[in-house]
Amino acid sequence: MSRFAYVNGRYECHTQAMVSIDDRGYQFADGVYEVVAISNGYPVDLAPHMVRLERSMAELHFAATPYKSALCVIAKQVVRLNRVRNGILYMQINRGTASRNHLFPSEKTGPSIVMTSRSGLGPTEVQAEQGVHLAMLEDQRWSRRDIKSVGLLANALAKQKAKDKGAFEALLVNPDGTVTEASAANIWLVDEEGALVTRPLGTDILAGITRARVIALAQEAGYIVKEKVFTVGEALSALEIFLTGTTTFVLPVVQVDDAVIGNGHPGEVGRDLRYRYRAFLEDLGPESWHVD
């Protein structure tokens, strides 16, 4: 089946869709993006994804930004055209097309909009049941990780280096020995008191949409959630570690480099929260497309 993409006002065959070589997203990584999970044909937390997208554009001082209601109409059509029931929706907004210059183009320059969608969602059941390994790496990304920028080279290098080490993901560490996040997910631990710990929001991590959802689900279930900075030592001695993200859901971690986490098997807390998150996905309905 042919895949379709939306590019600047046109729905086109995925293999023929293109942007200008003068697009600032291509020239300068001057763009932002969102990846939205599609579960049973419905978007997962589309409204907060749109809020984060608008914030990213504002932080990069985009002069012209598309209306989120229009983006949602496009998004729904892209998912429909690609017949995606369980997969992802990718949306990218660049500052626009202009002659190459480090300075921002005229405020009359309209943004570039690209959307695609494909099937395939979440880690495999084997990965979820067995847990995954992380490789500890220095966090070498830029200092505004709260902006969901398309400038992902450092993330890609970390992910590849982790793979080369035989790991599923990277555990990124600041020079002061504190843990930030993974290359494409937020990191959590369960401390000796059974409380959930995740790094507080700031410019050093991305405000994960799944992270926020899991906080709500955990608190609803009676778990204590602590948003605080934690060290590598605290992570390695934790009862459990798990990841959260759009494409990872809640994913238990059983090993970091050579250090075994807990008893080397997915812990009860991570497994429970994964179950609760999956139950949340099953309850999605048509109202999930509404963002106002």
Q: Are residues 42 and 108 in the same domain?
A: yes
**Which residue reads 């809640």 in tokens?**
250
E strand map for 167-209: 169-173, 186-190, 196-198
Q: Are residues 65 and 169 in the same domain?
A: no
Q: Are residues 77 and 56 in the same domain?
A: yes
Q: Are residues 99 and 160 in the same domain?
A: no
Q: What is the dihedral of CA 120, 248, 217, 280, to 10 degrees?
A: 10
> Cβ-count burial of 35 within 10 angstroms (0-12 exposed, 13-18 middle, 19+ buried)?
middle
The residues carrying an active-site annotation are 148
Residue 292 lies in a domain: no
Q: Are residues 96 and 168 in the same domain?
A: no
Q: Are residues 267 and 151 in the same domain?
A: yes
Question: Rounded CA gap, 265 and 252, in Å?
Answer: 8
Which of residues 57, 91, 119 is at a domain's end? 119
Q: Are residues 49 and 91 in the same domain?
A: yes
CB 271 within 8 A of CB 279: no
Q: Are residues 94 and 130 in the same domain?
A: no
From first to last of its 292 residues, the chain has per-residue pLDDT tens of 679 999 999 999 999 999 999 999 999 999 999 999 999 999 999 999 999 999 999 999 999 888 999 999 999 999 999 999 999 999 999 999 999 999 999 989 999 999 999 999 888 889 999 999 999 999 999 999 999 999 999 999 999 999 999 999 999 999 999 999 999 999 999 999 999 999 999 999 999 999 999 999 999 999 999 999 999 999 999 999 999 999 999 999 999 999 999 999 999 999 999 999 999 999 999 999 998 7
Q: Are residues 174 and 103 in the same domain?
A: no
Q: Which of 65, 85, 91, 63 is nearest to 7 (CA)?
A: 91
Which range of residues forms the domain containing residue 100?
4-119
E strand map for the chain: 4-7, 10-13, 31-39, 42-43, 87-94, 112-119, 132-138, 169-173, 186-190, 196-198, 225-227, 240-245, 249-256, 259-260
Token pair in block for residue 100 = 């190459």
Which of residues 98, 119, 140 is at a domain's end? 119
Q: Are residues 148 and 253 in the same domain?
A: yes
Q: Can you spell out the DSSP letters for 93-140?
A: EES-B-SS-SS---TTPPPEEEEEEEE--S--HHHHHH-EEEEEEE--
